[in-house]
Amino acid sequence: MTRSSPAVLGGIGLVAGIASGLFGIGGGLVIVPALVMFTRLRQHEAHASSLGAVIPIASVASIPFIASGLVDWPFAVAMSLTAMIGARAGAKVMARMSEAQLRIAFIALMLVVTVRLVVGTGTGEGGPQPLDSLVVLIPALAIGFLAGIASALFGIGGGLVMVPLMAIIGIPQHVAQGTGLVAIVPTAIVGAQAHRKRGYLDVGLVIPLAVGGLVGGFAASLVALELDPVLLQRGLAVLLILAIVQLARRRPPE
């Protein structure tokens, strides 16, 4: 593993925080490829350290959404419960995957989400809807479980899965982002803890990543609240494409 300076790590965190605040993701989408490219970390360590940084980044990025009433709390709680279960399962699976398998799976995930965003998802406006029936509860539990697995496997907070899927089932984009950010935090905590026990989590990397991410996350969330939902979705799709290209071009470490 090659160490990067705190300034470089802080810069990565800043960009990740901006992505988190703008698009309702944890920031791992930016952190994982960047760590792999600039620090020469192996995928396993990059994913684990990314999750550690996602915890404070998503926490701060969620504040403007919470203050604006753009969080569906029952939906967030339901997703978090199954996401934490999924995160434990995902951490166990990751420990058994090879470097190449992990990279291919991560790229495949990003491709699927990118296509979904380009095709289009629900962008209706409005506030949170009550979680008052199984029709809504079942999707919340299912989305959470899938996001939890993805979180531990790919070093993301889970928002990359949660936000597009919530939009698909008709939750307004801004509410989906706020709800996803809230649900990301406990999911990332469980995943990071599981990776720490396996020796993958590097706290020395997490701290500068988090410092940069805190600044970017809060500021970008304020901006996101003023942007058109369709623009936010298209912006996330562009970010995904850039990350896919970077990972696909990088040679695995010897």
pLDDT digits (tens, 9 = 90+) for 112-154: 878 877 776 555 554 455 445 556 788 899 999 988 887 777 7
pLDDT of residue 1 exceeding 60, the answer is: no
**d(C-alpha 243, C-alpha 97), whole Å:** 21
Q: What is the pLDDT of residue 200?
A: 82
Which structure tokens are listed for 91? 């951490």
**d(C-alpha 225, C-alpha 74), whole Å:** 21
- Give the mean model confidence (pLDDT) for residues 89-115: 77
- Give the mean model confidence (pLDDT) for residues 15-34: 89
- Give the mean model confidence (pLDDT) for residues 51-70: 94
Q: What is the pLDDT of residue 254?
A: 43
pTM of the model: 0.81
DSSP state of 253: P
Q: Measured in whole angstroms, how far is the alpha carbon of residue 45 from the centre of its chain?
A: 16
Domain boundaries defined on the chain: 6-249
Residue type, 22: L
Tallying the residues shown for the chain, one arrives at 254
Which structure tokens are listed for 206? 């997490």
- Give the mean model confidence (pLDDT) for residues 65-87: 91
Contact 57, 195 (CB under 8 A): no
- Of residues 55 and 128, more confidence is placed in 55
